[in-house]
Amino acid sequence: MVDGEAGRPSMLLAFRAENIYSFHDEVDFSLEATAEEGVPWHREDGRPLRVLPAAGVFGANASGKTNLLKALHDLRNLVLFSFRSEGIRRHGFRLDPEAAEQPTRYEVDLVLNGVRHEYGVILDDRRVLHEWAYRYPHGRAALLFERKHGEQVDIPAGKRAIGQAIERVVRPDALFLSAAAAGEHPDLLPLHNWFGRNLKLVDALSRQARWTYTAQLLREEITREQVLALLRAGDLGIADVRTRPLDPEVLGRVNRAMLIWGGYRDGGGGFPQIDLDELGLTLTHRGVRGDADFDVSEESLGTLVWLGMVGPVFEALELGAVLLVDDLGSSLHPVLAERIIGLFQDPEANPRDAQLIFSSHAPSLMGDTARQGVLGRDQIWFIEKLADGRSRLYPLSDLSPHEEEVIGKQYLSGRYGATPIVSHEEFVDVARLMIGGHE
């Protein structure tokens, strides 16, 4: 992403967390490329580095794939809203009572305006225990701030006046970074704003907001043709989309949903309820003897999934942002899922270095017998659920697959783990029990 100075990239490098959702132990997720593919970037100390534009996480149902994306999204919300909201919302590992009482840790490494930054926070249900931010100009660590024991804040000498003013107003249960943005701290505002643009989550809970966002893009003259072209590219028969004026009360709900989606308002209570018929959309489909109009509620599930995907994908590519997509490929043809990933992989389609992190069940994205998959081998991660309920994340590269291995086929065979352990005999026994119970 070009953020600030022309040609100065902003990208996510890594995410680490501990005691969050189904992750009891440390989870370490990296977007640094191990192969030649990837977005080239040179550290300020001159060392080359390549950053992946996309990465996919695969695993069985309830293994923790969604939880990884939610953990990233939760960190975003903490940074954006903890100063304005009362209390800390966190989700520690709940299957071990002792772990549930332990603190949760988040860390991100990112490139911001061409310079690597590190931000981290450790917190429990009551207060922030430790928080820090560093930048690495010329490859050397430079402190932005460090908050120890939830109270004392170390601040560079030249910024102590504004830092101490923020320190006086920040609550024990609020992030210093969140308060610093409210105080317009010049060195921390760009880091805070990065979270505002990035780590938006495409999941079932955001579906209505995403439909609404796509509809709003279609209403704006500056974005209509680009978004319409992306809708048409899905080969769903859509020739045109017409928009109708919205009822004032509906418009109020639409505006609230857009403020939450954009990161300008806390969405802890969820998005406003907005029905499909209230969006004011009519989709025109091309027929053999002419076009026909359909209300959006008459469309297939696949078309509605695509409608909710187009807006966020367009936004991420436009801003050069990191987009999180849960269950990519659900109700979409695998080829269409590949095309979405391909937009982020193609430098011409993605000149601002946007990134896509997604979960999926589709092994075709890893590669099948006919061709190599859309993902490289360093872009594939697995999550498996252990016997005690903990999730374990690991990259395909740790398993050292052979050059000739067909990754998707080997995954389905159980070669890499992270597949459901189900028994045909057990299913048959359950079916017999069900049938026998009705005789």
DSSP secondary structure letters along 380-391: EEEEEE-TTS-E
Query: What would the mean pLDDT of 205-219 be, rounded to a whole number?
Result: 93
Stated as kind and residue range, the H or E segment containing 248 is helix 248-261
In tens, the pLDDT along 37-83 reads: 666 666 655 667 789 999 999 988 888 999 999 999 999 999 999 99
The verdict on 173 and 245 lying in the same domain is no
Phi, psi angles (nearest 5°) of residue 257: -65, -40
SS3 300: coil
The dihedral through the CA atoms of 212, 215, 221, 222 has a sign that is positive
185, 160 contact by CB (below 8 A) = no
Boundary-marking domain end, from 261, 296, 318? 318
- What DSSP string runs through 286-297? EETTEEEEEEGG
**Residues 234 and 174 both lie in one domain:** no
What is the model's pTM?
Answer: 0.91
Q: Which of 318, 352, 379 is the last residue of a domain?
A: 318
Look at residues 267, 290, 318 and tell me which one is the last residue of a structural domain: 318
- Alpha-carbon span 272 to 208, nearest angstrom: 8
**CB-based contacts of 73, cutoff 8 Å, min separation 6:** 199, 200, 201, 324
What is the count of structural domains for the chain? 2
Residues 174 and 252 in one domain: no
- Whether residue 313 is predicted with pLDDT greater than 90 in this model: the reply is yes
Residue 377 CA from chain centroid, whole number: 20
Residue 162 is inside which H or E element, if any? helix 160-169
Q: pLDDT tens for residues 366-415?
A: 865 434 668 888 899 999 999 899 999 999 888 877 777 777 777 666 67
Domain identity same for 162 and 209: no
Two tokens, residue 208: 């209505």
Q: Residue 381: helix, strand or coil by DSSP?
A: strand
Same domain (yes/no): 43, 150: yes
Q: Which residues are bridge partners to 51 per DSSP?
A: 32, 39
Mean pLDDT in residue range 100-117:
92
Question: What percent of the chain lies above the pLDDT cut of 70?
Answer: 87
For residue 118, what pLDDT band results from cuts at 50, 70 and 90?
very high
Which one, of 90, 109, 121, lies nearest residue 15 by Cα?
Answer: 109
For residues 263 and 279, state if they share a domain.
Answer: yes
| Number of residues written out for the chain | 439
> Do 295 and 233 lie in a common domain?
yes
Which position has the token pair 């045909």? Answer: 424
Same domain for 140 and 1: yes
The pLDDT > 90 percentage for the chain reads 53
Based on the fold, state whether residues 314 and 326 are members of the same structural domain: no
Which of 144-153, 161-170, 302-311, 412-421 shows the lowest per-residue confidence on average (mean pLDDT)? 412-421
Tens of pLDDT along 317-374?
A: 999 999 999 999 887 888 899 999 999 999 999 999 999 999 998 888 886 543 466 8
> Is there a single domain that holds both residue 3 and residue 141?
yes
Same domain, 96 and 130: yes
Distance, CA of 340 to CA of 2 (rounded, Å) = 21
Q: Do 36 and 184 share a domain, yes or no?
A: yes
Domain limits at 350?
A: 1-198+321-439
C-beta separation of 227 from 233 below 8 A: no
Asked if residue 237 lies in contact with residue 285, where contact means CB atoms within 8 angstroms, the answer is yes
Q: What is the CATH number of the domain that holds 393?
A: 3.40.50.300
